[in-house]
Amino acid sequence: MNLPAMRAIYLFEMARTRRTLLQSVVSPVISTSLYFVVFGAAIGSRIAEVDGISYGAFIVPGLIMLSLLTQSVSNASFGIYFPRFTGTIYELLSAPISYLEIAASYVGAAATKSLVLGLIILATAGLFVPIQVAHPFWMLLFLVLTAVTFSLFGFIIGIWADNFEKLQLVPLLIITPLTFLGGSFYSISMLPPIWQTITLFNPVVYLVSGFRWSFYDVADVGVGISLAMTVVFLAIFLAIVAWIFKTGYRLKT
């Protein structure tokens, strides 16, 4: 295993985050804070408790998950797309490093950034609403698994995209709507029965539900199912990445 090479890619990506601190960290934190101000303080004070939890506190896991998903995808997709766009991908392809090591490095860096961001948003949320974490281990596990899984997804998008528009397409048109409709701001038990059934086809429901359970011990679906679904997504994305590397899809002609 070429650990120095993996380290080089990882540190290079982390350095890019430091250079673009405003865009990478400050911007999502401000956006999330605005959600807390609007939904937590302004509107939230007029909404009844959900499952015995104040609305402001209820939306915290969903908001963290929203940022985690979008940032994981955009960080990883940009990380691998940019060398393809500039042409510096030649260096990666000609280096003595395996595809697995390349993917692990980019995904590791993207997941690290998302995790840090998630924890910062959690700390920021603590300034607005009282937060409790009923199952810290599970909270961290869901956080890590989701960050890695969706960073893998972002990596796939970064390989697939052949222009910047496509790079933004999936996060904007798929990830964000699914997160909003996946119970980030409400419990799916608040929906009419038919929509409750339809919502179960939204994969983000399982991620948000499991993550919320780790905070407040309440969930829309069983935590076992949430965990299993997260692992299934991870396996699917891993399989796609393996296929990309086996075939050289969009990497090697």
Partner 1 sequence: MSAPEKYGAFRANSPKPLQRLTTCFTLKAARAPESTRALPGSMVRIPDIANKRPLSAIVALMQTIISVSELSKTYASGFQALKSVSLDIRRGEIFALLGPNGAGKTTLISIICGIVKASTGTVRVDGHDIVADYRAARARIGLVPQELTTDAFESVWATVSFSRGLFGKRANPDYIEQVLRDLSLWDKKDSKILTLSGGMKRRLLIAKALSHEPEILFLDEPTAGVDVNLRRDMWQLVRSLQATGVTIILTTHYIDEAEEMADRIGVISKGELILVDDKSELMRKLGKKQMTLQLQTALDHLPPALNAYQLDLSSDGSELTYTYEAQGERSGIIALLKDLSDAGIVFKDLHTTQSSLEEIFVSLVKDAT
CB of 98 to partner 1, least distance (A): 8
Q: What CA–CA distance (Å, rounded) separates 154 from 177?
A: 16
7-26 mask for partner 1 (x: CB under 8 A)? xxx-xx--x---x-------
List, in sequence order, the alpha helices (H) in 55-202: 55-86, 89-93, 99-128, 136-160, 164-170, 176-180, 193-199
Q: What CA–CA distance (Å, rounded) separates 8 from 211?
A: 32
Name the residue nearer to partner 1 (CB basis): 2 or 168.
2
CB atoms within 10 A of CB 86: 9
CB of 99 to partner 1, least distance (A): 11
Name the residue nearer to partner 1 (CB basis): 165 or 253.
253
- Applying CB under 8 A, the site for partner 1 has a residue count of 26
Amino acid (1-letter code) at residue 234: L
CB atoms within 10 A of CB 206: 25
75-114 mask for partner 1 (x: CB under 8 A)? -------xx--xxx-xxxxxxxx-----------------
Q: Is 70 left (phi over 0), alpha (psi -120 to 50) or beta?
A: alpha
Per CB under 8 A, the list member of 4, 192, 193, 224 interacting with partner 1 is 4
Amino acid (1-letter code) at residue 113: K
Name the residue nearer to partner 1 (CB basis): 27 or 132.
27
Name the residue nearer to partner 1 (CB basis): 14 or 174.
14
Which residues here bind partner 1, judged by CB under 8 A? 2, 4-5, 7-9, 11-12, 15, 19, 82-83, 86-88, 90-97, 248, 252-253
